[in-house]
Amino acid sequence: MKLIGPFKQVVTLANLPLRGKLSDEQLEIIADGGILINENKIQKIGNFETLKSENQNIEIEAIEEEQIVLPAFVDSHTHICFGGNRANDFAMRNAGKTYLEIAENGGGIWSSVQHTRNASEEELLKTLLERINFLISLGITTIEVKSGYGLDVMNELKMLRIIKKAQEQTKATLVPTCLSAHLKPRDFDGTNDDYLSYILTEILPRVKEESLAKRIDIFIEKSAFQPEESKIFLLKTKDLGFEITVHADQFTPGSSRIAVEVGAQSADHLEATIDEDIEFLAQSNTVATALPGASLGLGEKFSPARKLLDAGAILAIASDWNPGSAPMGNLITQASILATFEKLTTAEVLAGITFRSALALGLEDRGKLDEGLKADFVTFKTNNFQNILYNQGSLKAESVYIDGKLV
Ligand SMILES: [Zn+2]
């Protein structure tokens, strides 16, 4: 066993409800605290001196300077396996060009598909690991990574195999998701229905065979897949034994309702969700995930996080890091900004990037500092946890621990 501390504050996020609004008074903050670790799990949290006297002859990892500690963060929605760069899309969009004009100039998702298909496996793995390391440096140790820039059997499998390879080279937990239903590729000869059937019959059996992903995602939107065909597709993927997540209500409402109806783990985006569907989400176990990085990348409104929490939904916040609509990748900055626009408490934001986003990935063994949970945590050199969001991302994480070990 090993005792780490003392920390000026241990913000445990323990004993908080899974859904609905939170006040900062509900946060458990242990002053001069320590974390007792057994193997890769948390044995106990408490006052450092008390833990020290209760446990003689154990290894002590002393924290010399004034630091605080929180559970490590969980980014439950990213597209960080990609080739190329879409800085020109960003510039054109800001110069007033339309989605169509950008696509006609060689931009849009299709350009990332081409770059990703053309990139070597070495190059994709290298850049993926660089992005993972950046996220770890922010204190994020659980990262969902989607396919969806391959869009045919060979290239979707290539992406998912690279994500699997990356898992062998990082201590962070990667959660792969198959997003072959990102959009129908331009070189596919057939209807949307034909392409969704192709995913079901050609891609998913291979994904299963090689254990490349347990989760399936789909982009339900006017420009991608329509509600009815998507629902049929999702129910079929469920029959195949996959978990489901949905890109829902980004520009037009209606698809979060489908996510709830098919029992999805999460419905992500929700910028366009109408009040009636907020209620629907709030009464379900589908995690509602806000993606402020996409709002900041596109200059669009934020997801109605305040309304979702007030209605009693489980709100997660994720980065949506991707080369097109959300190029920033800094979840802490994004979550801090979402808080100022949507009036979220510190507790609500911290819950949204820890145990609530873990639940969006079906993970219940992390996201809080509590007995028996995975010993992933992040420290900041400050004496007050409020400084994290207050600094909007410019207060950097000091140390990141995975399985109780400094990385
Ligand atoms: Zn996305």
113 C-alpha to center of ligand 1: Å?
Answer: 14
Cα of 77 from ligand 1 centre, angstroms: 6
Based on its alpha-carbon atoms, the radius of gyration of the chain, rounded to whole angstroms, reads 21
Provide the H-helix boundaries in 19-65: 48-54
Map tokens 């060009």 to a residue.
97
Measure 380 CA to ligand 1 centroid, in angstroms.
29
Q: Which residues lie across from 358 on neighbouring strands?
A: none
The 315-317 sheet, strands edge to edge:
73-75, 140-146, 173-181, 215-219, 243-248, 266-269, 287-290, 315-317
Please tell me the distance between residue 65's alpha carbon and the centre of ligand 1 in angstroms.
Answer: 39
Q: Give me ligand 1 centre to Cα 13, in Å.
A: 27
115 CA to middle of ligand 1, Å? Answer: 18
Q: What SS3 state is found at 339?
A: helix
Q: How far is CA 322 from CA 109, 146, 174, 334, 374, in A?
A: 10, 10, 16, 14, 28
Would you say 265 and 234 are in contact if contact means Cβ atoms under 8 Å apart?
A: no
**What pLDDT score was predicted for residue 174?**
98
Who contacts 130 (Cβ-Cβ below 8 Å, separation ≥6)? none
Residues 6 or more apart from 233 whose CB is under 8 A from it? Answer: 181, 196, 199, 200, 218, 225
CA of 39 to the centre of ligand 1 (A): 35
pLDDT at position 187 is 96
Ligand 1: centre distance to CA 218 (Å): 9
**If you measure from the C-alpha of residue 26 to the centroid of ligand 1, how many angstroms do you get, rounded to a whole number?**
31
- 87: phi then psi, degrees, rounded to nearest 5: -60, -35
| Coil, strand or helix at 159 | helix
Residue 322: closest CA among 15, 55, 71, 89: 89
| Structure-token pair, residue 162 | 């690279």
Q: 300, 340, 306: which is closest to 320 by C-alpha?
A: 300
Distance 347 CA to ligand 1 centre (A): 25
This prediction has a pTM of: 0.98
Query: Residue 307 C-alpha to ligand 1 middle, in angstroms?
Result: 22
Report pLDDT for 104.
84
In the reported structure, the alpha carbon of residue 292 is separated from the centroid of ligand 1 by a whole-number distance in angstroms of 11
Whole-number Å distance, alpha carbon 324 to ligand 1 midpoint, is 10
Query: Which stretches in the chain have pLDDT values below 70?
Result: none
Which pLDDT score, from 0 to 100, does residue 97 have? 93
Look at residue 154 in the predicted model and tell me its pLDDT. Answer: 98
What is the CA(388)–ligand 1 centre distance, in A?
25
Residues 6+ apart with CB under 8 A from 308: 270, 273, 278, 281, 282, 288, 290, 315
C-beta neighbour count of 105 within 10 angstroms = 13
- pLDDT of amino acid 106: 86
